[in-house]
Structure 1
């Protein structure tokens, strides 16, 4: 588990969720939102170019499998 100092309350704030690797996106979102209720979760295909701007509420989930027939 990775953590960073939360400047609003001085508490540790979780910044990564290795335990969700391999889970369906819906389940991963639920777990992340339990730890970080104000998270702005963005689901993207692996390899997507993303900005490097800092947004402490953003959590990116990268997926690389097709779950249903397109």
Structure 2
């Protein structure tokens, strides 16, 4: 079964998280989004959104990225 969430990347730099998610699921599109940004609602089985702290120089991932 394909992986659908990445709790282990919370706290990682966004770029490292994207690399890990892409390695696990090269079939999904990854959107890197600053936390607090309004995004279009709706489930998309071919998308993972990575929310990061744009106010921090390292840009750590704040929430568990999930497919949808």
- TM-score between both structures, scaled by the size of structure 2: 0.70
Q: Tell me, what secondary structure is at the counterpart of 1:62?
A: strand
- Once the two structures are TM-superposed, the CA of residue 54 in structure 1 deviates from its matched residue by 2.1
CA RMSD of aligned residues (A): 1.6
Runs of at least 5 residues in structure 2 that lack an aligned partner in the other structure: 59-68
Separation in 2, partners of 1:15, 1:33: 12
TM alignment of 1:1-70, pairs within 5 A: 12-64=1-53, 65-67=55-57
Deviation at 1:46, TM superposition (A): 1.0
Give the count of matched residue pairs.
57
Distance in 1 separating the partners of 2:49 and 2:3: 14
Q: Which has the larger radius of gyration?
A: 1
Superposed structure 1 runs of 4+ greater than 2 Å apart: none
Q: Which protein has greater RCO, CA pairs closer than 8 Å, 6+ apart? A: 2
Q: Which sections of structure 1, spanning at least 5 residues, go unmatched?
A: 1-11
Q: Secondary structure at the match of 2:2?
A: strand
TM-score by length of 1: 0.69
- Give the structure with the larger strand fraction: 1
